[in-house]
Chain A
Amino acid sequence: MISLNQQMLQSLRLVLPELIWCGTGVILMLIQPFLKNRQALTFLALVGAALGTLATFYGYFGTAFFGQIQFDTFSLFFHWLVGLISFLVILASDSYLERENLESAEFCALILFATTGMGVLASAQELLTAFIGLEMSSISSYVLAGYRRDSIKASESAVKYFLLGSFATAFFLYGIALLYGVTGSTNLAKLADADPSNNLLRLGLTLILVGLGFKVAAAPFQVWTPDVYEGAPTPVTALFSAGPKAATFALLLRIFSTIHAATQFWFWAFWILAALTMFVGNLGALVQSNVKRMLAYSSIAHAGYTLVAFAAVTSVRQDPEAVAPAYAAVLFYLASYALVSVGAFTVVSELGGRGERHLTFDDLAGLGTRQPFAAAGLSLFLLSLLGLPITAGFFGKFYIFKAAIHSDLLWLAILMAVNSVIGAYYYLRLIVVMYMREYKGTLPTDTPQGLSPTAAMVVAVAALITLYLGLAPNHVLGIVLSQNLISSAR
């Protein structure tokens, strides 16, 4: 018989990544007054992010803390993903913080705290634990959004994000309360046996969907996204579009795959959400003149594509064979989008110049000749977002198409195809501007000359992964296609 102490120690192994991330954050805060060397602080944060990610190897598949944490292939995948994202974002933010003259220790610590929250989200098997994870990641995000204190836009971004975000969190919490009222438990394993036709349960799940839909920026809960993404420091935007989004989708997937919600009701909920989100995102992006804002809208559109796969998961006519590929489609898409998005925002963050003033399409004219490396990197990411072959984005879309058609969602697939073409227009427009237009007038003196070495590293890594996933998706697919991806799922 294992004693309680041993059990706790065993449990700690499963949250080791979170402990390391969070601990590094705390250490960063503590030594900040004594250590003024920016590079050393960033390095420490990077080591923390990397160690935390590697600590997943020390874990084991199983539950911990009396079933509150579930560590399976699914959580492993998302731990790697958010760990990698926060590593890249910290690396990319180094030159940004220097340029904008901002403190780096707090910034890195906040990113690590947010990562901790995302880690918890990915492995939460209990709704209140998930709530803690969500709050950890959200509250750090609110602060990060307003990190550029002297910028009005950043403050607007932070306040907007905070007000709307806490409102959405309340929805989520209320949903949990209702679920608890119906079943007497907040543990997903126990909720799995609840009667799916119970209206109160449905209401609770709907509220949870609204709360999480806000976090992933699904239409009609997306209104905050463009402003927040535009106002936040660009490395933070990179984090927002990649990390919290992926982690929240992970939670959403876990909830809706554990609770037997594969009914007509959820199917249509996701169907409508997906269609709406795609159109709102793409049509919004079509008319933007600011690159950052355009990418913000495109991020909404990509949430829509991911939701198509969700609709496939909950499709009523699914056969068990179709479920695993649909999960795989979600995971692959989230991973590919996250990395591409980090890469794209990193380039944008470097191009903006001090105060992020040079981010309209016109500012990027002629970039292909001025900064070939940055332009080539950004083009690759845009082509991946567009879904062109031999990039990660293509296989991401391909698998979603495949899952959708396999689940008989032909119309949703066609809507997605239409949206891809709309998307093609604005992504191409940027490429066209960079390569085919000359800069009008003389360049302002504060235009950045090239990518900083750290940012270049991030771009190179993201670009390599994008190509790797586009040429040989087998390896990652092998992970996400494993039979018991979500242990408690059927």
Chain B
Amino acid sequence: MMALNGHLLTVLVFFPAFGALALLFLRGEDELWIRRLAFVVSTVEFLFSLFLLRAVPIGQAGYSLEEFAHWITWPPINYHLGVDGISLFLVILTTFLTPICVLASWQGVHHRLKEFHVMLLLLEVGVVGVFLALDLFLFFLFWEIMLIPMVFLIGIWGHERRIYAAVKFVLYTMAGSILMLVGIIWLYNATGTFDLPIIQRLIHDGQLVLSERTEMILFLAFFVAFAIKVPLFPLHTWLPDAHVEAPTAGSVILAGVLLKMGTYGMIRFCLPLFPDASRRAAPYVAVLAIIGIIYGALVALVQPNLKKLVAYSSVSHLGFVVLGIFAFHNISMQGAVFQMLAHGISTGALFLLVGMLYDRRHTFEISDYGGLSTPMPKLAAFFLFVVLSSLGLPMLNGFVGEYLILLGTYQAHWNWAAWAATGVILSACYLLWSYQRVFFGEVTHEKNRALADASAREKWILATMAVVTLWMGIGSPFFTRRFAEPCKAVLEQMNRNVMQEVAVPGAPPIASKGAAGNSTERLASR
């Protein structure tokens, strides 16, 4: 542990990469060893990430374990990592789901196994990097790098229409992110730095004043990139394709973690950097989020395809998260962060279960199932548990997030909460109805009669997920008290001290009033 001192975050980011490198030295035929090594690497990574819990102080905002190194001198790009209460659990969620994914692919994946695990570990590098980067440039770098392993995961190990889905996924994401790059460079030109905390301070202290129009353009440049990732209502069309075509492990990571990169980006970048634009955009964003909640639920309701149903339920659930963020209420913000984690676990578990059904029957059509609780009672029990957590049964994790979001949103805008609440009802409808059609009733297909129940491996996976689900539902303060302060800090950040004319001592001299004024003027004159 001593060797890790001060470099825990770097280790967290790059350890899986070394694991991937080690995998390359194994022979492709040694399937078992490849799986074992990948599992060990990702589990060790998970254990490393648990050290974060000790390092992040409770009831305190601000970044811990910061690491700083100069990387490129011109323009000044720094290797700046840090963790706070919000990113803390997202990192742990990532490192938790990766070994689960390795386990979940134990039976299902045989084709080019080594590459599969290399991609999985590289994906982990990118995602953990995104959550820990405190330099805008570094953030963008990880954000883009993570695309490639994901595309390969969908495109090589996916189902029939995998290539279409992979290309659609990457084009959507890239279209958003390249505009974000333009926005990042614009911010750099105005401030002379890529460092997130510094830019935040400049904006908070009123040293960098953006004109209304500029702020809105920059806000949109970031927001659209994140909204595509979330995905927010009109930009969601890549998601069903990507989810359905991806292999189980891909879907779990995609739903569990990758979507959260969008909402995380909104909390970390959109709100603190462009507070006024966020406020002005909030009603529109909320409307889109509510449309997403209801639309996603309605489409899920009529889905004949089980995996697509889960995918659309993600659209609906992530709508809640966006709503919670843009209600600008302390409680709803905490709810949003909690819901991000809860959705990661419960939807991840749903995808695992759907994947297990697929391993047995090679179909996602609900009509091909029916009465499965007779041949596989244990799997059915786990499935029910996960469904209940996903629809927000009290004591389970989904309830806490949705409740907090609705509570906070109600206090800020009661009508938003009223609309969103219909989503809760609808989610109960589509989840329970689909559960009924898959597991209850008579066994309609002869093939289904002889299906094997959950194997020991599957039981371990599902039990782990179930325990976490239950713990998050009962022991939610363990989580909320760690990210309550950072959430509050984000909202405080939004009330900037425009009046404050006196330079803050210790503020860097790079962005004087003049430079900031200049840049606004420049854009306005175009």
Contact = CB atoms under 8 A, between A and B. Distances in A.
A269 interface: no
Contacts of A410: 182, 186, 523, 526
Nearest to A437: B163
A398 B188 CA distance: 12
Interface in B468-526: 522-523, 525-526
B174 A436 contact: no
Majority SS at the chain A contact face: helix
Given A389-B145, A390-B141, A474-B73, A432 B166 contact: yes
A424 B174 contact: yes
Contacts, number: 84
A435 B74 contact: no
Interface in A456-476: 472-474
A421 B188 contact: no
Contacts of A388: 144-145, 147-148
B519 to A, nearest CB: 9
Given A405-B189, A406-B189, A408-B526, A481 B74 contact: yes
B288 interface: no
B354 interface: no
Contacts of A421: 171, 174-175, 178
Interface stretch (B149-157, B365-373, B401-409): B149-157
Interface stretch (A30-38, A57-65, A201-209, A412-420): A412-420
Nearest to B143: A389
Contacts of B152: 435
Contacts of B145: 388-390
Give the interface residue-count category, chain B. Answer: 35 or more
B431 to A, nearest CB: 33
B140 A389 contact: yes
B167 interface: yes
A401 interface: yes
A43 interface: no
A402 B183 CA distance: 10
B170 interface: yes
Interface in A69-128: none
Nearest to B170: A428
B109 interface: no
Contacts of A406: 189
Given A406-B189, A411-B526, A401 B182 contact: yes
A176 interface: no
B62 interface: no
A245 B52 CA distance: 52
B198 interface: no
Interface string B114-149: 000000000000000000000000001100110110
Interface string A418-445: 0011001100110010011100000000
A410 B179 CA distance: 11
B308 interface: no
B287 interface: no
B23 to A, nearest CB: 15
Contacts of A437: 163
B393 interface: no
Contact of B185 (A369, A398, A411, A424): A398
A296 B260 CA distance: 39
Given A420-B178, A474-B74, A436 B163 contact: yes
A426 to B, nearest CB: 10
Nearest to B156: A436
Interface string B157-199: 0000011001100110011001101100110110000000000
Contacts of B167: 425, 428-429, 432
B72 interface: yes
Contact of A402 (B151, B171, B189, B526): B189
9 contacts: A389-B144, A389-B145, A390-B141, A394-B144, A414-B182, A417-B181, A421-B178, A429-B167, A436-B155
Interface of B: 72-75, 112, 140-141, 144-145, 147-148, 151-152, 155-156, 162-163, 166-167, 170-171, 174-175, 178-179, 181-182, 185-186, 188-189, 522-523, 525-526
